[in-house]
Amino acid sequence: MESFERMVVDHRGGSTPSGSRGPPDLDLLLRYADALAKLGRVRESLHAFDRAARLAAPQHPHGQHGQHGHGQNGVAVERLRPLASALLDQVGGVAAGGGGAHDARPRELTSLTCPACDCVLQCPVTLPCGHTSCRRCLSGRDARLTCPKCPYRTAAGAQVVTNVLVQRLVERWWGQELRAALLRDQGNALFHDRQVQDALRKYDEAVLLAPASPLLRSNRSHALYCTGRHQQALQDADEAVRLRPAWGKGHYRRGAALAALGRYEEALSAFCACAALDWRAPPPCSSDCEDNSSDDDCSAAKATVRGGARRPSRGGDRGASGMSHAAHHGLLLQDLAGLPADDDPYLDSVLDRVFQDVEKLKRLDGRDPPGDVLTVDPRLVDHSELDCVLCCRTLWKPVTTPCGHTYCCMCLDRCLDYSYSCPLCMTSLSEYVAASPRSVTEWVEAALRQAAPRELALRQVTHAQELSEQGLPVFVCTTAFPGVPCPLYVYEPRYRLMVRRVVESGTRTFGMAACVYRSGGPDRYAEFGTLLEVCDLVRMCDGSSILSTQGSRRFRVLQRGERDGYDVANVQLLHDEPTAPERLPGVRQLHALVRAKSELWLSSMGKEVRAEIERSFGVMPSVEDRWENSSDGPAWTWYLLAVLPLGPQLQVGILSTTSVEKRLRAIDKTLDHLAQRLRTPRHSHPHPNPHPHPHPHPNPHPHPHQHPEPQAPPQLDAWSS
């Protein structure tokens, strides 16, 4: 670059390599301008090209054109391509720096349109990710469809079905816009077949039905441009920009019409606005959404931009405006490069005006919504259409099945707990059940917010009340202990529902109580139990779940009840009574003795049994510093109680005691009993049960599934002091 500048300075002095004075070297000046453009120094490059153009004009008075010829000011159009690219890159950076242009349409105002074409939905399809788009706007490779709003891709060969509810609502609420879209499609097909006049008639009919559609205005503007009616094309382009200011294609149509009318400065500003909006926009859809119609009627040169095709703009219009993006930006560069140069002050003022217009795009903040927003006419709303067919209430967290039907998420889950078929059409949903978690249908939620905000708010309150109803959910299975892991396999429909509610409510807590009577009724489970906190949840493909839970606090059942098939209870939390100061030394001595016996007993086990215990419950906790002040006593005692081969009644009895001394004595007596059995030859060798309760397969009637247990030691009352 420095060598270029030195050579240019030498030529400005008028000296030549031979030492004689002569005109500056045109090729050197053009190469210098190219270098400036590639460095992003747009103003300096523009002045250098302007100087080269004025220098070349006398040498080429007839203005030859082509790749090696010169434009109307004596510089070949192709030589201006680096300058045009640098200018577009710079204005694109200006708009991207503000971050406001692409956020000008708030999400709640655009969520009822297709995320790919930004128009009323035609044959709406909802993918498992929860996003809904036109069927034809879905694109993909290798028979895998890609969502136009997120990276989700379907499986190869997956069939997509029209969303029944969305299709019905679109037809009811925007029937006129839907008919206009069909006319636009017919016009696009005619334009593709080069029947421009017939296409114009279709566009005219469509505009009468939907005058606020920027896509229709853009299509008709392009068709008018191709027939030479540039002033009318400009009017439609202006209207498209007014309706959707942050849409790059509208600015491009406007720039093309302005350039055809000879208003080059305004055209330059429009093209730069297009570049700022279009090239830096995030890729919401694939370019496959466009029909790639030919624009040869306009004698458009389709050149590829440096660096390859750019990302498509949001809602590229099809048919009359459906060129490939590489061709679109190639035209943009050619139009920019063909604008005439003038004296330096004038060029500076034009460039300043361009950057000012682009800066305005940064201030688009959505406070004045675009004119093409789809809104719902309250007179057309039938609230019964927004009700779930299962619970007959307003849809809450609506989800859509692969067969196209929409239900409340909770309602569908409850149905799938009993049958893997769609409640309406009985289509198998086994693969849908395996896909977890399920995504809420975004379009239906947005429609509810617009069409039935009051009903949706009431439904939310009702749902919150249901989750916060008094009563602790109780899993009737076995005895759990504070601080001890309790893995569970949940397969019964009622407990699937219970776990879903516990997780959704955010508490992630439920009660575990042992089943003491096999007969039904609320009194079949123990009076004392333990709160379990859900640490992790894994859903299986058949709808069952594997839970990782941890015991927290003990409770006593005060009142029993039932909700939707599972037990609930009002409970009182238990805590140990403080040890009297005069008894504390003896309790500490007992604690040390029982701890030593426990470690000896565990160490006497075989390696396989020990490994199984540690895999289920972990390693025995160490002794806390101030275990006397704990509400549940030493944590290691509960760990040992979970491992010791105790019967259900005895487990519940020890769980219910609020004296740490009594628990220590019970453990001590049990260990002595086990040691005595080891020394007695006539008794079978006792071994600890690594699964004292059926963790892998809990059941409200778990006793048939429990492992055989050795003879239980005497009851707790017999050991009490």
Chain segment 76-89, per-residue pLDDT in tens: 667 777 777 777 77
pLDDT value at position 278? 67
- Cα gap 429→422, rounded to integer Å: 6
Report the candidate in 276, 286, 332, 271 with the shortest Cα–Cα distance to residue 101.
276
652 dihedral zone (left: phi>0; alpha: psi -120 to 50; beta):
alpha
Q: What is the distance, to the nearest Å, from the Cα of residue 188 to the centroid of all Cα atoms in its chain? A: 33
Q: How far apart are CA 285 and CA 146, in angstroms?
A: 9
Measured in degrees and rounded to the nearest 5, phi and psi for residue 655 equal -60, -35
Predicted local distance difference test score (pLDDT) of residue 626: 84
Rounded CA-CA distance 146/150 in Å is 8
Residue 306 has pLDDT above 50, yes or no: no
Yes or no: domain 471-573 corresponds to CATH 3.90.1150.10: no
Structure tokens belonging to residue 104: 């000008």
* Percent of the chain surpassing pLDDT 70: 73
SS (H, E, C) 74-94: CCCHHHHHHHHHHHHHHHHHH
Whether residue 5 has pLDDT greater than 90 = no
Given pLDDT bands bounded at 50, 70 and 90, which one contains residue 510?
very high
- Average predicted confidence (pLDDT) for the chain: 77
Q: Which residues pair with 125 in a beta bridge?
A: 133, 162
pLDDT of residue 639 exceeding 90: yes
Q: How confident is the model at residue 402 (pLDDT cuts 50, 70, 90)?
A: very high
**pLDDT tens digits along 355-389:** 777 777 766 644 445 555 788 889 999 999 999 99
Average pLDDT over residues 672-685: 71
Q: Are strands 144-146 and 139-141 parallel, antiparallel or unpaired?
A: antiparallel
Q: Examine the pLDDT at 226 and tell me if it is beyond 60.
A: yes
Q: Is the peptide bond before 581 cis (omega within 30 degrees of 0)?
A: no
**Are β-strands 509-515 and 472-477 bridged in parallel, bridged antiparallel, or unpaired?**
parallel
Using the predicted structure, report yes or no on whether residue 686 has a pLDDT greater than 60.
Answer: no
Where does CATH 2.30.130.40 sit in the chain? 471-573
At 312 the pLDDT is 34
CATH class of 175-280+356-375: mainly alpha
Tokens of 49: 């090209």
pLDDT of 436-475, one tens digit each?
678 999 999 999 999 999 999 999 999 888 877 778 999 9
Whole-number Cα distances in Å, 635 to 120, 183, 482, 532: 62, 74, 8, 15
Class of domain 383-464: alpha beta
pLDDT score for 81: 77
Mean pLDDT along residues 596-624: 90
Each residue of 642-660: pLDDT tens digit?
Answer: 999 999 899 999 999 999 9
More confident residue, 383 or 139: 383
Q: How many Å apart are CA 423 and CA 28, to the nearest integer?
A: 77
Q: Which of 183-187, 366-370, 603-607 has the lowest mean pLDDT?
A: 366-370
Q: What pLDDT score does 593 carry?
A: 94
Joined together, the tokens standing for residue 371 give 């004119």
| DSSP conformational letter for 552 | E
Instruction: Outline where DSSP puts E strands in 119-204.
Output: 124-126, 132-134, 139-141, 144-146
The angle at the Cα of 602, spanning 601 to 606, to the nearest 5 degrees, equals 110
According to the model, what pLDDT value does residue 82 have? 78
| Between 272 and 485, the higher pLDDT residue | 485
Which of the pair, 308 or 250, is modelled with greater confidence? Answer: 250
Q: How high is the pLDDT of residue 11?
A: 52
pLDDT of 705 over the 90 cut: no
Query: Within the chain, which residue ranges are assigned CATH 3.30.40.10?
Result: 115-162, 383-464
Listed in order, the ranges of the chain carrying CATH 1.25.40.10 are 175-280+356-375
* Residues contacting residue 423 through CB under 8 Å, at least 6 positions apart: 389, 390, 405, 407, 412, 415
Fold entry, domain 115-162: Herpes Virus-1 (3.30.40)
